[in-house]
Copies of this chain bind each other. A is one copy, B any other.
């Protein structure tokens, strides 16, 4: 077997990003270089590592197998680098991923954890649920806080299944400007939403637009799209439109915004999940997981 460290880095990055092209961007390569690295890697490993499918790749069993070892190898190389540079071994560091709006529960949990166990280092990263699931499988994350909607499928369809616990359950609400007509009510009828300007998140291929109430009749009028939640809420406060928010976010809602429920349509449930790879995990990971579960229990609406 003739495999290079660059090849393993490319493998891990592809597993995390889901496409050659995205991995190339993340690594500062061109797509062509990644394609060649993959070819060399598969030649060296003697088997096909990726299933090329439109819209991205999947790891073959051989690819998953090599990925597990690659994660160990690259982690060890990182540890070697830290040690040679004289830094602390950072043995207790836990890598946590979260979907963009999970910052509240994560921030509170980290504060509690730092108070109870000051020695544990936690680094965090944002990402979408599929990206976080891939990062878990690539060994780049130890834990991930994900969002899930009915019918609550597992975060991905790979095997072995991720180990998942529910941190919190909540519903979807609507954020409206505090002074608007809608804000005067506790709940708004679905019909009233039909011609409202919506503030949506840029959606991926074929997925329903996030930020727009699902199941509305007709085509929603999307006035603005923004990825950042603070931006979206500022737009709402400025009266530029309305958007959906998880009920868990009530505690951090800025001034000028009111959250109201929707009547006339079935309630939209949302779960906040904590996921990790099955198998053994370090005590630091367990402590952070417990802190997240405990903090979630204190949140309103759970």
Q: A1 to B65, Cβ gap below 8 A?
A: no
Interchain CA distance A118-B78 in the complex, whole Å: 38
Nearest-CB residue, chain B, relative to A74? B73
- A80, CB-defined interface residue at 8 Å: yes
**What residues on B are CB-neighbors of A5 within 8 Å?**
3-5
- A-to-B contact residues, CB < 8 Å: 1, 3-5, 45-47, 62, 65-66, 69-70, 72-73, 76-77, 79-81, 83-85
Q: B4 to A4, Cβ gap below 8 A?
A: yes
Copies of this chain per assembly: 2
Q: A77 to B4, Cβ gap below 8 A?
A: no
27 A-B pairs with C-beta separation under 8 A = A1-B77, A1-B80, A1-B84, A3-B5, A3-B77, A3-B80, A4-B4, A4-B5, A5-B5, A45-B84, A46-B85, A47-B84, A62-B84, A65-B84, A66-B80, A66-B83, A69-B76, A69-B77, A69-B79, A69-B80, A69-B83, A70-B80, A72-B76, A73-B76, A73-B77, A73-B80, A76-B76
**What residues on B are CB-neighbors of A69 within 8 Å?**
76-77, 79-80, 83
**What residues on B are CB-neighbors of A81 within 8 Å?**
1
Cβ-closest 5 pairs across A and B: A69-B80, A1-B81, A72-B76, A73-B76, A73-B73
Interchain CA distance A77-B4 in the complex, whole Å: 10
**What residues on B are CB-neighbors of A66 within 8 Å?**
80, 83-84
Q: Name the residue in A3, A65, A84 with the highest tally of chain B Cβ atoms < 10 Å from its Cβ.
A: A84
What's the least CB distance linking A139 to chain B, in Å?
12
